[in-house]
């Protein structure tokens, strides 16, 4: 049911009635300063005033003689109400949510560290959507006094930066929660000799080690001193191989679950001593009940003694990015409750392993998960923004997914496009065109990945071409059509991010054609076709990749600290070098047919039975070695 009706009026200018702002003043000033066209210094024709008057999470818009009054329950409700007002909403009824905490988890560890100013920019957008919690996923990118190799050369945040992030969030009604790792996913520190004695496996800490306990105490002290929130996410997921590395050499065999339980009790105790309320990802418990170590195994049975050993003061985060059937979420929420816990639900934005968020997959899974979370009466939900495989994704592209997530929380998902504030970014429609790069092919499957052609086809080695069977034959034409549509949006509102995704589609159109043709032409001895490829397709691909690299660097510099760009730069440099190698091989073959190209003589084979079910990382796509 629509609670607000979008008007068709052009963009309007607003005046904020400051004497009604109270605790909202600081955040309102930040939003107004970032949108001077909407909130001009000389004032606008529509006044917006505020009143704290709702008895449940949400807001109500009321027309006044001079503008709009926003009646709200919490700071975050006032900012969401402001977002609705500036997008042209009229009063129809109040708008409320059953969620006390509506959050976004931002991964700032996987190669890309968002700058403080970038986080502030995102916070302003999130506040207007109604988001009131941010979790910063920081494996090692925070400063610990006396630990110079913790986050070494990784763009870690200084204490003052984290305190400023926390202060800014509070202005906008956003609680900033540290999200760290205290067991696994710590390969970036364990690679250094300074931490070698603390490693069980290359990514997992050594349980029951005094040095490990001391380091975790320092972790907790470092982050808790930067944030006013007393909640903390301590990770504990995917500690694969725990007890099977140095621990076994030093202490002998011990059940992995016993080690996990021991370590969790230690971490929870350390949190309690500091007045912190910890949460962990819940998959470790469900994997223990699965014969295949599968978090979503419907045959999984968590043993009673396992449930009994979950510490009382810890919350469980149920993360699920894969299912479009609401009934699956209903089942898993109930399974968490049988463990004696009311779970925090975490959906996924489907932005990892790609350059642009995959909206069809994101909307399908977010919608199903949030519907079930609402109906089950959960009080906390968040959307995870992961940066797996190099964090190549343009941060602007996540915003429609966050908007849709927020609307699902308020029961207004059908209004997501009308609520989208595109003040300093491309429009909703333009961003969604970019999301068509990785379409729902009809071969998606429950529990698995979505295709990521828009990433791996770019990085695929053009000479080895071992994934030829997985490149869709329609990809060149589809990318050309997307490029044309994006060009129209770019003409209406020039934007770096649209130019980046447009250039990606242009480059993929020609590079996908290269992959589809080069091996076939060589095996068919089509020298005329190879000559055209040498004179047209290869140079066009090289030019496209070079332009794309420059645009990608500009996008990166707008959002991220410089650390991590070296990884992406090497990918572009490697691709350019391999394209030049292909050009050399084709030149030699075209001059003398006796000069063979052995790489192209290999008969291409599909890796999966359905070629469209293709999700490949950079490492998988760039080399067969």
Q: What is the DSSP string of 219-259?
A: HHHHHHTT-S--EEE------TTTTSSHHHHHH----HHHH
Tell which of 96, 128, 143 closes a domain: 96
Res 611 pLDDT > 80:
no
What tokens appear for 218 in the block? 């320092």
Element spanning 548, H or E: helix 538-559
- Residue 444, pLDDT above cutoff 60: no
User: Is there a domain that residue 423 lies in?
Assistant: no
Q: Is 72 helix (H, G, I), strand (E, B) or coil?
A: strand
Q: What are phi and psi of 16, to 5 degrees?
A: -95, 130
**Is residue 12, in this structure, part of any structural domain at all?**
yes
pLDDT at position 448 is 57
**CATH number reported for the structural domain that contains residue 479 in this entry:** 1.20.120.670
Quick one: 497 and 365 in the same domain? no
What is the arithmetic mean of pLDDT over 42-51? 94
- Of 48, 93, 91, 39, nearest to 69 by C-alpha is 48
State the average pLDDT for the chain.
93
Are 92 and 139 in the same domain?
A: no
pLDDT-derived band of residue 445, with 50, 70 and 90 as boundaries?
Answer: very low
Q: Tell me which H or E stretch contains 96.
A: strand 95-96
Mean pLDDT across the stretch 171-198?
Answer: 97
Query: What CATH number is given to the structural domain containing 80?
Result: 3.30.160.230
What three-state secondary structure class fits 382?
strand
Residue with tokens 């329609």: 474
pLDDT at 12: 84
Radius of gyration of the chain from Cα atoms? 26
Tokens of 602: 């290999």
Q: Collapsing DSSP states into helix, strand and coil, what is residue 600?
A: helix
Residue 614: per-residue pLDDT: 80
Provide mean pLDDT across the span 432-450.
69
Total number of domains in the chain = 3
Mean pLDDT of 175-183: 98
Tell me, what DSSP letter sits at residue 24?
G
- Partners of 317 in the β-ladder: 281, 344
Confidence check: pLDDT of 175 > 60? yes
Q: Are residues 67 and 125 in the same domain?
A: no
| 399 in the same domain as 323 | yes
User: What does the pLDDT look like over 99-124, one tens digit per residue?
Assistant: 999 999 999 999 999 999 999 999 99
Look up the domain containing 91 and give its range.
4-96
**pLDDT exceeds 50 at position 4:** no
Choose one of 78, 96, 114: the last residue of a domain: 96
Please give the pLDDT value at position 2.
Answer: 39
379 found inside a domain: yes
Same domain, 77 and 108: no
Burial of residue 402 (number of CB atoms within 10 Å: 0-12, 13-18, 19+): buried
Tell whether 91 and 132 lie within a shared domain.
no
Residue 359 sits in the same domain as residue 466: no
The reply to whether 78 and 123 lie within a common domain is no
Residue 518 lies in a domain: yes
Tokens of 460: 């695929």
**Domain boundary pick from 49, 70, 96:** 96
Residues 98, 377 contacting (CB under 8 angstroms): yes
Tell me how far apart the alpha carbons of residues 436 and 617 are, in angstroms, rounded to a whole number. 19
Read off the pTM: 0.95
Give the integer Cα–Cα distance in Å for 310 and 261: 7
Q: Residue 507 falls within a domain, yes or no?
A: yes
**For range 232-239, the mean pLDDT:** 93
Transcribe 104-131 into DSSP letters: EEEE--SS--B-HHHHHHHHHHHHHHT-
Please tell me the predicted confidence (pLDDT) of residue 376. 97
Q: Are residues 287 and 305 in the same domain?
A: yes
Confidence of residue 11 (pLDDT cuts 50, 70, 90): low
Any domain includes 442: no
- What is the band of 446 on the pLDDT scale with cuts at 50, 70, 90? low
Residues 127, 228 within the same domain: yes
State the pLDDT confidence band at 32, using cuts at 50, 70 and 90. Answer: very high
The percent helix, strand, coil of the chain (3-state, each to 5) is: 50, 10, 40
Residue 50: inside a domain, yes or no? yes
Q: What is the mean pLDDT of the segment spanning 515-544?
A: 97
What pLDDT band is residue 440 in, cutting at 50, 70 and 90? low
Residues 245 and 292 reside in one and the same domain: yes
Indicate whether 322 and 407 sit together in one domain.
yes
| Whether 28 contacts 15, CB under 8 Å | no
Q: Output the pLDDT for position 388.
A: 95
User: What's the CA gap between 350 and 468, in Å, rounded?
Assistant: 25
Nearest to 307 by CA among 329, 280, 335, 330: 335
Sheet of strand 95-96: strand arrangement: 14-16, 46-52, 67-72, 58-63, 95-96
For residue 409, the domain's CATH number is 3.20.20.80
- Residue at 187 is within a domain: yes
Question: Mean pLDDT, to the nearest integer, of 397-414?
Answer: 96
């Amino acid at each position: 049911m629509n609670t607000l009706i979008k008007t068709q009026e052009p963009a309007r200018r607003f005046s904020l009635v400051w004497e009604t702002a109270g605790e909202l003043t600081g955040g309102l000033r930040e939003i107004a300063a970032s949108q001077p066209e909407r909130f001009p210094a000389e004032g606008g024709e529509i006044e917006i005033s505020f009143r704290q008057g709702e008895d449940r999470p949400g807001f109500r818009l009321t027309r006044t003689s001079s503008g709009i009054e926003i009646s709200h329950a919490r700071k975050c409700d006032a900012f969401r109400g402001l977002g609705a007002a500036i997008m042209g909403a009229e009063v129809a009824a109040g708008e409320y949510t059953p969620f006390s905490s509506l959050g976004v988890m931002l991964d700032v560890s996987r190669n890309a560290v968002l700058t403080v100013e970038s986080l502030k920019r995102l916070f302003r957008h999130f506040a207007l959507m109604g988001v009131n919690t941010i979790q910063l996923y920081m494996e090692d990118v925070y400063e610990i006094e006396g630990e110079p190799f913790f986050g070494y050369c990784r763009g870690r945040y200084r204490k003052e930066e984290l305190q400023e992030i926390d202060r800014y969030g509070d202005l906008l009604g956003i609680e900033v929660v540290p999200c760290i790792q205290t067991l696994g996913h710590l390969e970036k520190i364990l690679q250094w000799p300074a931490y070698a004695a603390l490693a069980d496996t290359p990514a997992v800490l050594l349980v029951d080690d005094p040095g490990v306990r001391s380091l975790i105490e320092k972790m907790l002290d470092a982050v808790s001193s930067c944030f006013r929130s007393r909640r903390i996410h301590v990770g504990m997921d995917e500690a694969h191989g725990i007890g099977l590395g140095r621990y076994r050499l030093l202490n002998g065999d011990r059940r992995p679950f016993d080690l996990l339980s021991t370590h969790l009790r230690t971490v929870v105790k350390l949190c309690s001593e500091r007045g912190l309320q910890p949460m962990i990802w819940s998959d470790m418990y469900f994997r223990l009940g699965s014969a295949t170590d599968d978090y979503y195994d419907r045959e999984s049975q968590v043993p009673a003694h396992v449930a009994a050993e979950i510490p009382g003061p810890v919350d469980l985060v149920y993360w699920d990015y894969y299912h479009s059937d609401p009934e699956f979420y209903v089942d898993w929420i109930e399974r968490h409750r049988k463990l004696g816990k009311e779970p925090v639900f975490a959906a996924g934005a489907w932005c990892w392993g790609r350059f642009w968020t995959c909206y069809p997959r994101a909307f399908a899974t977010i919608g199903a998960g949030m519907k079930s979370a609402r109906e089950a009466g959960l009080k906390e939900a968040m959307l995870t923004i992961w940066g797996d495989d190099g964090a190549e994704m343009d941060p602007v592209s996540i915003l429609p997914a966050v908007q849709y997530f927020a609307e699902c929380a308020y029961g207004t998902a059908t209004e997501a496009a009308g609520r989208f504030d595109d003040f300093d970014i491309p429009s909703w429609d333009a961003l969604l065109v970019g999301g068509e790069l990785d379409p729902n092919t009809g071969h998606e499957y429950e529990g698995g990945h979505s295709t990521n052609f828009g990433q791996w086809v770019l990085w695929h080695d053009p000479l080895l071409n071992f994934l030829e069977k997985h490149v869709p034959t329609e990809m060149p034409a589809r990318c050309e059509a997307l490029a044309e549509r994006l060009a129209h949006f770019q003409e209406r509102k020039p934007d770096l991010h649209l130019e980046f995704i447009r250039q990606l589609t242009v480059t993929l159109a020609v590079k996908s054609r290269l992959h589809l043709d080069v091996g076939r032409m060589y095996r068919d001895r089509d020298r005329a076709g190879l000559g055209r490829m040498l004179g047209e397709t290869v140079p066009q691909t090289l030019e496209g990749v070079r332009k794309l690299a420059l645009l990608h660097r500009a996008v990166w510099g707008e959002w991220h600290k410089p650390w991590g760009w070296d990884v992406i730069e090497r990918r572009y440099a490697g691709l350019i070098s391999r394209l030049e190698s292909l050009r050399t091989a084709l030149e030699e073959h075209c001059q003398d047919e006796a000069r063979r190209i052995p790489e192209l003589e290999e008969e291409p084979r599909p890796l999966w039975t359905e070629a469209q079910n293709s999700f490949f990382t950079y490492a998988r796509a760039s080399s067969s070695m």
